Structure 1
Amino acid sequence: MLNKPIIISKKDEKYKTILFYPFKNKKNHGGLRVMNKFKKTDNFRPLLTIITVVKNGANTLEKCIKSVIDQKDVNIEHIIIDGCSSDSTVSILRKYSKNIDYWISEKDEGIYDGMNKGLQLALGDYIGILNSDDFYKKDSLKIIIKYFKRHKDIDFIFGTVFKGKILSGFWPNKIKWKFNFYSAHSVGFFIKNKSQKILGFYNNKFKYSADRDLFYRMIEKYKMKGIATTRDELIGYFAKGGISESVGFLDRLIEETKIRINNNQNIFFVLLLFTIHLIYQSKKLITKK
C-alpha cells in the first residue's frame, strides 16, 4: 500500500486515469482508496486490475469477490462498478470494502459503460474483466502474470475458461469472417494497461458486442500481439446466460455487421458474410423442424 499516487499521462492515450469517480454524494463509493490506501506496482510484483461490472447481482457477487480475494501471491486491485442496483448489491460492496480497492454505484448506460468507468480507474500494469456472475479458479491469476513476464512483447492474453465445456485457444485470422476466435471476454481476457489506453474505450453504441468491436480494432487496426494459455491452464468459470446468450441471432448478426462496417472492412465482403450467416442459420432452423 502507498499514499495517493501521482498520475502521469502520455500523448498517445485515448483516456486518462483517475483515482476517484467525481461524485457529489460520497455515499456512492467506497473501498480502500476512500481510506487513502492504494496498491502499488514494481518490477517484482506487477499490479493486475480486475474490473467487475454489476447490476442487481447480489446472488452471485459475493462468490465473484471471494474468487479475487483467494488469488494468493498476486498483486491485485479490484474495481467494482455498480449500475445503481435495487437489491442488496451495495450492502455486499460495503461488507467487502476492506477487500475491494474501489467501488462506485450510480446509473449508467449499460455494461460496457460500466467497463469504461472501470478502465479509467485502473492503476494496474494489466487489466482483466470479471463479470459479477463469473469467478476465477483459486490461484489461477498467477498463470496470467507468468505469461506477461515471460512474453514481454505481447499486448494481451486469452486464458482458458470453462463455460459448460472448456473454451481455449486464440485464432486472430478468423476475425476476418467470424468472431468466435477466442475463449471468453469475461474471465479469460487480460490486456496491458498501456495497450488498452491506445485502443481506447468500449464503443457504447454497440449494445451487445462492444467487446468484439474492441477485439477487431485490437487485432486489425492496431496489430496488437496476443497469446493463449494452454488448455490445461484453467483461469475460471464463465456463467451461462447473461446478455451474450439473451440476444437473438438476427440482432447479434446485424450488430456484428455494423461493427465490421464501422471498422472499414470491405462492404461487399461484409454483406457476403451477412448473407452466408443468414442462410446457414436458416438451414439450421429448418433442419431442427
Structure 2
Amino acid sequence: MPLISVITITKGNPQGFARTHASIKAQDFKDHEWVVVDGDKEPDNGIYDAMNKGIARACGDYLIFMNAGDAFTSPNTLSQAAAYLQEGPDFVYGDALEGGHHKPARHDIAHGMITHHQAMFYRRSDRQYDTRYRIAADYKYTAQAIAEADADKIAYMPFPVCIFETGGVSQRRVAEGRAEQNAIRQELGIKAPMISSMQIAAAFLKRVAPPVYWALRSRFKTARAYDARASAKSNPATPSKKPNLKI
C-alpha cells in the first residue's frame, strides 16, 4: 500500500486543529503520516510557504493537504482512497462537502479548481507552491500537477473526500482570487473564454439564492467522470472517456 502524507497547516485555530486531528486519528487506514506546520511556533511567509514546508518534510508517496478546521468525511476515507492510489496514478481527486452540501467535482481545470484542495491526492514530487500568488497558488499547483500527469493516470473518486471549513482566505478575498487565477491561466497558457463572467454570475447566485446555486452545482458537471479502476477492469488497452483535465 502507498504511504499517504496528510499535511496540516495551522495558525491561531486550536478548535479547528483539534477537529482535524480527531478526523485523522480516526482513520482506519494506518499507512499514513501526519505532517503539521504550526505557524504559531515557526514563522512563515503565508499559507503557501507553510505548505511548501510541509511538502519538504513529507515522506509519503502521495500528499493531501488537510488544514486546520477541515476533516475527512468518514473514518474510512483514506482506505477508500488507497484503493485508487495503489494502482499508481499521478493525480486523484474526489468530491467535497461544503456547508452541509455535497459539492461534486468539476472536470475541467480551465474553469478553476476542480474540487476543494482537501479532496485531491498528489503524487509527491519536487513541485512547490508559487508564493507570488497569495490566494490562488493552489490553482497553479494543481494545474501543473495535471499537466505533468500521464493522461491515463488521472483518477476521479465518486465520493466526498473532505468536509471543507468555510470562511477561509479564498472565500473572503474572492475578487483577488479570481484575478490571480486569470494571471495563472495566462502564465500557463490555459484558454478559458468568458470564465470570469461565469464565476461572477455563480458567486452572485450563491450569495442571493443559495438553494438554486446548490441545486445547479449538484446537477451540472463539465464532463463525465473517469474511474481508472473501472476502466482498467473493462478494457485496459482502451481507457474510458476522461475528464478534460489536461491543459
TM-score by length of 2: 0.73
CA distance in structure 1 between the aligned counterparts of 2:136 and 2:92, rounded to whole angstroms: 19
Q: Equivalent residue for 1:244?
A: 170
Q: What do you get for the CA RMSD once the two structures are aligned? A: 2.6
Decide which of 211, 229, 239 is 2:138's aligned counterpart.
211
CA distance in structure 1 between the aligned counterparts of 2:27 and 2:199, rounded to whole angstroms: 43
What pairs with 1:175-186 in structure 2 (closer than 5 Å)? Answer: 175-176=109-110, 178-182=111-115, 184-186=116-118
Equivalent position SS for 1:207:
coil
What do the CA deviations read for 1:42-80 (whole angstroms, capped 9, x no partner)?
xxx432111000110112111211211111242111010
Equivalent position SS for 1:107:
coil
What pairs with 1:154-173 in structure 2 (closer than 5 Å)? Answer: 154-164=89-99, 165-171=101-107
CA distance in structure 2 between the aligned counterparts of 1:228 and 1:109, rounded to whole angstroms: 33
Equivalent position SS for 1:78:
strand
Q: Which amino acid in 1 is paired with 2:120?
A: F
TM-score by length of 1: 0.63
Residues 282 and 236 of structure 1: CA distance in aligned 2, closer, same or farther (over 3 Å): closer
CA distance in structure 2 between the aligned counterparts of 1:258 and 1:81, rounded to whole angstroms: 28
- Residue 237 of structure 1 and its aligned partner are, at CA, apart by 1.0
Confirm or deny: 8 A CA contact 2:96 2:105 kept in the other structure: no
- Residue 180 of structure 1 and its aligned partner are, at CA, apart by 4.1
**Matched pairs, number:** 205
CA distance in structure 2 between the aligned counterparts of 1:281 and 1:167, rounded to whole angstroms: 14
Q: Which amino acid in 2 is paired with 1:53?
A: I
Confirm or deny: 8 A CA contact 1:158 1:170 kept in the other structure: no
Residues 220 and 80 of structure 1: CA distance in aligned 2, closer, same or farther (over 3 Å): same
Q: Equivalent residue for 2:121?
A: 190
Decide which of 161, 178, 201 is 1:253's aligned counterpart.
178
CA distance in structure 1 between the aligned counterparts of 2:203 and 2:18, rounded to whole angstroms: 41
Q: Equivalent residue for 2:215?
A: none
Residues 221 and 263 of structure 1: CA distance in aligned 2, closer, same or farther (over 3 Å): farther
Confirm or deny: 8 A CA contact 1:168 1:229 kept in the other structure: no
Confirm or deny: 8 A CA contact 1:52 1:81 kept in the other structure: yes
- Residue 247 of structure 1 and its aligned partner are, at CA, apart by 0.9
What pairs with 1:111-150 in structure 2 (closer than 5 Å)? Answer: 111-136=47-72, 137-149=74-86
CA distance in structure 1 between the aligned counterparts of 2:149 and 2:32, rounded to whole angstroms: 27
- Residue 134 of structure 1 and its aligned partner are, at CA, apart by 0.6
Equivalent position SS for 1:229:
strand
What do the CA deviations read for 1:158-186 (whole angstroms, capped 9, x no partner)?
12321121123351xx223x11433x102
The percentage of aligned residue pairs carrying the same residue is 23
**Structure 2 residue 189 is matched with structure 1 residue 264:** yes
- Residue 81 of structure 1 and its aligned partner are, at CA, apart by 0.4
Equivalent position SS for 2:122:
strand
- Residue 212 of structure 1 and its aligned partner are, at CA, apart by 0.5
Higher relative contact order (CA 8 A, sep 6+): 2
Q: Extract unaligned runs of 5+ from structure 1.
A: 1-44, 86-104
